[in-house]
Amino acid sequence: MADTVNWPGKSGKMYAYEIIPVNASWNDVPGNYIFAKRNGSSWMPVYIGQTDSFSDRLPNHEKRPCAGRNGATHIHAHVNKNDQSRLSEERDLIANWYPVCNG
């Protein structure tokens, strides 16, 4: 089983994500994702997003250069098939973390 991390949103809700190397292969499934870097013993988000397809979105993501410049080494992801839920989660996390590449 992959390692996981819980990310808190501004609402206080916790979201569980799998930790995946940034250059991993991706399945054609919808979900939420976070380009992340280590900050001591914890993680910091560099970019937070959502997609209808990990395999279509993540390999050539337009924010990869920004994420790389800001130290992202992994993508935290979880499958989320509900459009409204994905958008709500993305907004909740961005509102709590203000990632540098979401600016």
Q: Which domain holds residue 20?
A: 4-97
93 within a domain of the structure (yes/no): yes
62 within a domain of the structure (yes/no): yes
51 within a domain of the structure (yes/no): yes
- Domain containing 82 — which CATH number? 3.40.1440.10
The predicted structure's pLDDT at residue 22: 87
The alpha helices in the chain, defined as continuous H runs, are 54-57, 64-69, 83-97
The predicted structure's pLDDT at residue 11: 98
Residue type, 52: D
Q: Is the pLDDT of residue 40 over 60?
A: yes
CB count in 10 Å sphere of residue 17: 23
82 within a domain of the structure (yes/no): yes
Give the DSSP letter string of 1-16.
---EEEEE-TTS-EEE
Express each pLDDT in 4-28 by its tens digit. 999 999 999 999 999 998 889 999 9
Q: What is the mean pLDDT of the chain?
A: 96
103 within a domain of the structure (yes/no): no
Express each pLDDT in 53-99 by its tens digit. 999 999 999 999 999 999 999 999 999 999 999 999 999 999 999 99
Total domain count for the chain?
1
21 within a domain of the structure (yes/no): yes
43 within a domain of the structure (yes/no): yes
Q: Is the pLDDT of residue 3 over 80?
A: yes
Encoded tokens for 61 = 């993501």
102 within a domain of the structure (yes/no): no
Encoded tokens for 12 = 């206080």
